């Protein structure tokens, strides 16, 4: 969810006003995703690297998060949306952790859609944490073959499907340390729209573009003649 600061600066407002305006985009995107029948939606809210930002901006972000959880928990329950948190979120301020724990606990039986929020998140940290947990289990006698499936079970996203579509707002052409393992074959859609202006119409545009693409996972298209190599048929 990128572009909050630039949205505010373009309007000669403090950067934090961009974050406040971004809450409307969050609500609209979650509601639209649930109505469309999406199985899972993940929002990248705060990265490990974001701690480099001004203290007041971080404080504002955390308070917006707490306020959102208090106001929207009933809506999540009414719409049968389960909340999960990705990242080292238990390192956040205790007041934030308490609100997160309450929302996760109260929505744990919801089944319509999984809403994951990445907080204090880093794709590299996720892989490091998974490796540490594997080593710890090995030390305690819980050993398993190390393969892609094993590592996947130790990631923050264990039990969730890999993303089909990665949407990048604000026109930036980078993944910013987001779900590095999981997006190996995700389709990427970039929009110049800044996050506070992102609405369900933008989400629908991204999904329509996704539907036009052919996902091959390294294989050849089904319509190609795989029997021809350099113009000759195999013997």
Distances (CA, A) of 142 to 136, 207, 213, 223: 9, 41, 42, 46
CB neighbours of residue 131 within 10 Å: 13
- Residue 187 phi, psi (nearest 5): -80, 140
CA distance 117 to 125: 16
CB neighbours of residue 159 within 10 Å: 10
Distances (CA, A) of 234 to 166, 218, 231: 39, 22, 10
Choose the catalytic residue: 2, 4, 120, 202: 2
Q: Enter the DSSP assignment of 232.
A: B
CB neighbours of residue 165 within 10 Å: 17
Choose the catalytic residue: 4, 28, 50, 197: 50
Catalytic site residue 164? no
Q: What is the CA radius of gyration of the chain?
A: 20
CA distance 106 to 90: 18
| Closest C-alpha among 180, 146, 151 to residue 163 | 180
Collapsed DSSP state (helix, strand, coil) of residue 185: coil
Catalytic site residue 50? yes
| Closest C-alpha among 139, 84, 73 to residue 108 | 84
Catalytic residues: 2, 50
């Amino acid at each position: 969810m990128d572009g909050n600061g630039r949205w505010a600066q373009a309007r000669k407002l403090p950067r934090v006003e961009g974050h406040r305006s971004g809450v409307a985009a969050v609500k609209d995107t979650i509601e639209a995703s649930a109505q469309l029948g999406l199985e899972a939606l993940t929002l990248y809210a705060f990265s490990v690297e974001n701690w480099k930002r001004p203290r007041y901006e971080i404080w504002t972000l955390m308070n917006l998060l707490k306020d959102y959880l208090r106001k929207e928990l009933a809506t999540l329950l009414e719409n049968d949306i389960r909340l999960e948190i990705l990242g080292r979120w238990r390192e956040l301020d205790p007041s934030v952790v308490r609100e997160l724990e309450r929302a996760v606990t109260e929505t744990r039986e919801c089944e319509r859609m999984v809403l994951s929020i990445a907080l204090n998140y880093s794709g590299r940290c996720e892989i490091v944490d998974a490796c540490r947990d594997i080593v710890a289990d090995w030390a305690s006698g819980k050993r398993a073959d190390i393969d892609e499936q094993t590592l996947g079970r130790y990631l923050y996203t264990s039990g969730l499907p890999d993303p089909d579509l990665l949407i990048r707002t604000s026109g930036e052409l980078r993944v910013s340390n987001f779900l590095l393992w999981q997006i190996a074959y995700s389709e990427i859609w970039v929009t110049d729209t800044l996050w506070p202006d992102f609405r369900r119409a933008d989400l629908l545009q991204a999904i329509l573009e996704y539907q036009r693409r052919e996902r091959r996972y390294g294989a050849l298209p089904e319509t190609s003649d795989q029997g021809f190599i350099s113009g000759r048929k195999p013997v």
